[in-house]
Structure 1
């Protein structure tokens, strides 16, 4: 018995040691990937919110190389990724179908798609050899979405470790705060964009973005992170026994995150983005409700947080409320034009309700179909409603996949919050950010700006990663 058991035990020890070594190497690899992704997120807003095709190519290439490095690293270690795409089959399936449909739109199948009949009285028609009426734009959209998918996958791997997950969100918040300060400094010292003279949105904070609404969405994501983190400090204190005293650094951390939230809300008001202000307040109220459920009978601890919200709103209204009010009064004609745009976009959708006009091809399709009162003399490169844009470009079925995915993510996050897991703060951040972005997309195109899309994708990967059943089991190993 002894002669056989000792070698077996020895082999078992060597196998265990080998697994431990492989796990440590994967942990270092995940740390490297997380750092590289944070660098990408820090750089993304600089080239005007990453709105140009060149930046899409650069970021796509960079993430592609990082994905190769990660895959080669795992192969050399001889171990799999932390999270397999099969663990999120609904998300993986929807994303794969969406990308495959973009590929379909690029194939020479234009004959199966109805030609685009102009709304004008001349009855002119337009047809294309591909389903997409702007194949180059559809190819770029495919590149962008592959970039987002790879970012989600890599961030999901890097954020499985709770310590690293916390570090990632803190780093993201610091990055957003940096661009928040840049926005207010740029506004007060010449009202420029990265030192260049503006051509629009004079008197509104835009930071490195061209559009104030996109910048407001970017800042609102940071505000959600800051508010949840401030509230989590209070929840930890409430769960502590009264005889144990105060959790170390409770006041310092609360004030730090509250100050960050105040600053972010103030600059959101400085953007003069009406919907940016609305979604920030809606997201903040949602967070207060979540915190109230976590605090239970200790809900009175929320009073300081509510006071911070009131102070932030009052101060922002005092400093920038006049500009926002002026927009509410003076932009009535703009609202009428926006409604006309929506109506004509809906007409455009029903010319090709199932196949769409091609991902990223809204500008080309709408330019051909626009008529008075919107008129063809104005350039409309966006539908100013991401959902209408998706339906016009991808058709009603495939264009609804992102909406279904948003709803599925929300349900997953709510279910995790109901289970009262230890990672509730990450899930609260994910849910509030989802609400902010989802609501703002009803009247604008913030999520169609790559810097915002990258940030949103990264935050959602962190939030969704915290809901995985095996998250606690993986935590120490990754």
Structure 2
């Protein structure tokens, strides 16, 4: 080793610098998520590989290709194969799903050219470049790490990079900054520890690996005084893992440390070097740091732990998505859907609505299966076999054991995360694995040369060619899905001519054929033409629904187009599908207004009595549609007979009949409710409402008061009783009822409602000043335009025009911009009244001799003397 170090070529040292720069740059590039990182990643990896090859040639060393390099090289080949344009027959054999997409969505649009297997070729070009960079990084690390000093320096860069990231995060926490360096806010993330990583799981993965490497360096550094920086770096990274609040990251980091301890115990039992006491001290020191971090973040850690404290909660997390992703993988068994194409292609196989865009399966096995097919799973198995072979080596020291334990922990973490999909964690992992997979020097250099590849000019030229290929791949890879969507959405929002949107849409669809949003945006542009464009709208939105069957907006657009074409039943069915896909406003906000018959309402009704009840309420509250509401309620009761929730439909029927003064029908509906659920509280309250509707006010009040006595803790029942008492003019009794439940109310909305009802009673009694106080408090508890306007009306009646104008101004700020005209006119009138009042009062004071005398005695201003 010493001779190897002395003869180390300057080219090898330059390769070491390139690798170290790569380790530092990737975390700085937002954990590898920054778009610009692809260019330095490829450039530095290619430079490191070329320089390492030249250095090996100068030193007379062979280039070794460990087994771990095989899956990296094969993944490059797979990416290249996925990008080869294929005729229809070949595509149908290798990827029936891609062929079906071509036949259904592209050929009718005139896009008949040969297509690759990848469903997003631009993303696959980027992945090709990335995998080439990973391959060259690993091969360069294997060669450079043959020198002991170079190996330790590179591993030290990994350890200190993790510590530096944590220092940045702690600095942000101490300064109370929630954006990176105060200039870069995270838009879609709220990381507990503000660093270069927006995703806490990725941060925990990177820091966990850095901490493990730091522990290994601390265990193997001589003399012990020089080990302290590594121990501190490991402790800082371990602390960062805890402060990230990543449940998986913390759990697998602790697993990695436990695994390292077990390996060290086994090594000692097998007669290894006697360093057990030192190893124990280092690990206990790390655990002490972790204990301090756990104490500092105890509340946050407990909250995170409680969010996954049962099997049910875990099943509702990302694990619940695995069956859908497995289904997607089964659809692409031969070559996968294309490396990097998951974000664009997965919505076709998403059977449950999700408000988030799923960019990765967050499971390394499913990632390989969906994007690379069965070959990807085979490569994953080869990589695992290569890792096991490294673990089974007999000459591993404590540093290498620590590295392998960190990689094992990160690998298990990637069964629930995708940190290896970003360069920061991937490059660090490949570098530390290269340090372990390096060839062992067993004798003369010539002996080592016979065991590997001779670094000939042809081989060095191959590394240059691969680097050039990786850089060229970034040119077609520059076309990103998000950019295409934003460009087309901007045209639609700007109401560009439909022909322009159509042409641009076809261009972008040709580039990203599996992105449903592009088809939907073109459909939206055609929908702006009304009935004239309904056919084109339907053509494009059908393709969007083919690619994303659970897209609620596409279903709504399809519903509008079908209504415009006169296919009303199908249109309302699409509204129903939009509701089932998660669009809560599709039925109540739009479809119910367009329905004209019970048949159309039936077509839009999901298999849910509760939703049917809400539809009935929407109809009942719309002037002129109560007859339709009653007819629809009759259909819904018959349709859902025997299901839970039918009683609520009868209850709605009774209340609507009471509203329409149809007392006999209301009585009959109430009898149905009493027959079905006689013991329910709402049933007794409904009977009281019927009594009230018949004019039996005393009886209805007595019934509700009896209910109140049986249910003293029911706040809503108390509110109902108080409102009825107010209507009957029993303001004192109403206030007493409200005060009896005042101590039970902890919700701000309920408190504001109680105060508003008290204000109603005080207003009826003429106690307007006290009523103003109640309404002001209610408006502060639950700010709303109506609340502030109620305050303003009372203040205006008290002739407090200035205060009333301020209240109107506060309510005005809570109104939508298109509804502010009347409030502005009111505020202007109040301000004018206040000016008139002030001017009148000033004039009265000026004309009052007593007021003038008082002003003179108080030393107030006097008129200036008149000059002669």
TM-score normalised to the size of structure 2?
Answer: 0.45
Deviations 1:413-443 (A, max 9, x none): 2222xx2x3x513421331122122111100
| 1:137 aligned residue | 123
Say yes or no: does 1:214 pair with 2:202: yes
> Quick one: distance in 2 between partners of 1:139 and 1:81?
34
How far residue 58 of structure 1 moved from its aligned partner, in angstroms, is 2.9
How far residue 445 of structure 1 moved from its aligned partner, in angstroms, is 0.3
| 1:438 aligned residue | 411
Q: In 2 relative to 1, CA 437–175 (structure 1 residues): closer, same or farther, beyond 3 Å? A: same
Unmatched segments (≥5 aa) in structure 1: 1-21, 118-123, 234-247
Say yes or no: does 1:470 pair with 2:441: yes
> Quick one: distance in 2 between partners of 1:351 and 1:341?
16
| 1:271 aligned residue | 244
| 1:404 aligned residue | 382
Deviations 1:28-76 (A, max 9, x none): 211111012111211111121122443113321333244445556767x
| 2:814 aligned residue | none
| 1:148 aligned residue | 134
| 1:159 aligned residue | 145
| 2:265 aligned residue | 292
> Quick one: distance in 1 between partners of 2:133 and 2:143?
16
| 1:197 aligned residue | 185
Q: Tell whether the 8 Å contact from 2:207 to 2:241 is kept in structure 1 after alignment.
A: yes
Q: In 2 relative to 1, CA 194–444 (structure 1 residues): closer, same or farther, beyond 3 Å? A: farther
Q: Which moved more, 1:186-195 or 1:283-292?
A: 186-195
| 1:243 aligned residue | none
Q: Which moved more, 1:274-283 or 1:94-103?
A: 94-103
Q: How does 1:170-319 map to 2 (within 5 A)?
A: 170-189=156-175, 190-195=177-182, 196-202=184-190, 204-232=192-220, 249-250=223-224, 252-296=225-269, 299-319=276-296
In the alignment of these two chains, the number of paired residues is: 424
| 2:75 aligned residue | 98
Q: Which has the higher contact order (CA 8 A, sep 6+)?
A: 1
Q: How does 1:26-175 map to 2 (within 5 A)?
A: 27-69=9-51, 71=53, 77=58, 81-85=61-65, 88=66, 90-109=67-86, 110-116=91-97, 129-175=115-161
Q: Tell whether the 8 Å contact from 2:159 to 2:234 is kept in structure 1 after alignment.
A: no
How far residue 223 of structure 1 moved from its aligned partner, in angstroms, is 0.9
Q: In 2 relative to 1, CA 453–126 (structure 1 residues): closer, same or farther, beyond 3 Å? A: farther
What SS class does the counterpart of residue 85 from structure 2 fall into? coil
> Quick one: distance in 2 between partners of 1:203 and 1:65?
34
Q: Tell whether the 8 Å contact from 2:325 to 2:370 is kept in structure 1 after alignment.
A: yes
How far residue 25 of structure 1 moved from its aligned partner, in angstroms, is 7.3
What SS class does the counterpart of residue 335 from structure 2 fall into? coil
What SS class does the counterpart of residue 148 from structure 1 fall into? helix
Q: In 2 relative to 1, CA 74–461 (structure 1 residues): closer, same or farther, beyond 3 Å? A: closer
Q: How does 1:20-31 map to 2 (within 5 A)?
A: 27-31=9-13
Say yes or no: does 1:455 pair with 2:428: yes
How far residue 397 of structure 1 moved from its aligned partner, in angstroms, is 2.8
**Larger Rg: 1 or 2?**
2
Deviations 1:230-287 (A, max 9, x none): 3335xxxxxxxxxxxxxx742x345443333222211111101011111111111111
Deviations 1:82-122 (A, max 9, x none): 4333xx3x3444333222111111011333334439xxxxx
| 2:321 aligned residue | 341
What SS class does the counterpart of residue 45 from structure 1 fall into? helix
Q: How does 1:349-428 map to 2 (within 5 A)?
A: 349-374=329-354, 377-409=355-387, 411-416=388-393, 419=394, 421=395, 424-428=397-401
Q: Tell whether the 8 Å contact from 1:384 to 1:444 is kept in structure 2 after alignment.
A: yes
What SS class does the counterpart of residue 94 from structure 1 fall into? helix
Q: Tell whether the 8 Å contact from 2:82 to 2:117 is kept in structure 1 after alignment.
A: yes
TM-score normalised to the size of structure 1?
Answer: 0.80
> Quick one: distance in 2 between partners of 1:152 and 1:49?
19
Q: Tell whether the 8 Å contact from 2:208 to 2:241 is kept in structure 1 after alignment.
A: yes
Q: In 2 relative to 1, CA 266–367 (structure 1 residues): closer, same or farther, beyond 3 Å? A: same
How far residue 396 of structure 1 moved from its aligned partner, in angstroms, is 2.2
What SS class does the counterpart of residue 301 from structure 2 fall into? helix
How far residue 295 of structure 1 moved from its aligned partner, in angstroms, is 4.0
Deviations 1:447-469 (A, max 9, x none): 1111111111111111111xx24
Unmatched segments (≥5 aa) in structure 2: 99-103, 108-113, 450-868
Q: What's the Cα RMSD here?
A: 3.2
> Quick one: distance in 2 between partners of 1:64 and 1:257?
30
